[in-house]
A and B are shown apart, each in its own frame.
Chain A
Amino acid sequence: MKLRRDVFQAIADPTRRTIISLIALQALTPTAIAENFDYSRQTISKHIQILTECEILEQEQKGREIYYQLNPKGMREIAEFIEPFRKMWDDRFNKLETVMKKHQSKK
């Protein structure tokens, strides 16, 4: 069986989430994607590679350039995933812990 990357892992990373939202607006070349970040081109390439392996992004050849666009199939799949929902509760509960520790020390 071919080992497939964990989609959870793919969208858990903030840089990769930003890449997804950039590409959601329009298909972009790797260079255009990298221009949005301060990271090295290699780092961004690695993120793009992971997103492609997870079938979130797909390549399209336009003339001499390769453009990346969202893979509708992968995106539909990803929407079902619970990581952002989990993250929302995790943030809330972290806040709860902070609020209550402060509340406790006030007494």
Chain B
Amino acid sequence: MEQKTKIIAEEGKQELTITREFDLPLKLLFKAHQEPELLEQWMGTKVLKLESKKHGSYAFETTHNGNVVFRANGTIHEFIPEQKIIRTFEMENTKIGVQLEFLEFEKITDSTSRLTMQVIYRSVEHRAIQLKMPFEYGINMAHNKLQEILSSLK
């Protein structure tokens, strides 16, 4: 099966590109990025604030059992409906720091569309921290699951 989401992360560069073709009209793809209640559903995080306009800002927060497990925020630099969003993104309490994101939305056909996200980090090392994170998270989740099972056996 061909992979729908592609990541280009060239060796030694401080940026990466994420591309994805959607089985959705351009209008709906953009709307999913514009409206807080829709973004919330697919990002899997609570949207505390999302001002979808030039010079607007946003904040996301995810809690688990009453503890904040994820917080992110950023500022929107450019907002052109159904074309482009330029924004900063910063995951709080991580060493990744702030990143600059260029999101480009394109129509392929009346019912399909493409998103290209260029993400620029402060350095190659900052990009590496980001790339490692989901992997380490996966391993940690497996560990936690095991610990839970093991402690329930005691």
Contact = CB atoms under 8 A, between A and B. Distances in A.
A96 B22 contact: yes
A96 B142 CA distance: 26
A79 interface: yes
A74 to B, nearest CB: 13
What's the dominant secondary structure at chain A's contact region?
Answer: helix
Contacts of B146: 21-22, 25
Interface in A61-81: 78-81
Given A20-B139, A25-B146, A100-B32, A90 B4 contact: yes
B48 interface: no
B130 A85 contact: yes
Interface residues of B, number: 36
A2 B114 CA distance: 38
A99 B41 contact: yes
Contacts of B20: 89-90, 93
Interface stretch (B23-31, B69-77, B84-92): B23-31
B42 A88 contact: no
Contacts of A85: 7, 130-131, 133-135
A17 B28 contact: no
B6 to A, nearest CB: 8
Contacts of B22: 93, 96-97
A101 interface: yes
A104 B22 CA distance: 14
B5 interface: yes
A21 B141 CA distance: 9
A87 interface: yes
B18 A96 contact: no
Contacts of B135: 11, 78-79, 81, 83-85
Interface of B: 3-7, 9, 16, 18, 20, 22-24, 28-29, 31-32, 38, 41-44, 115, 128, 130-139, 142-143, 146
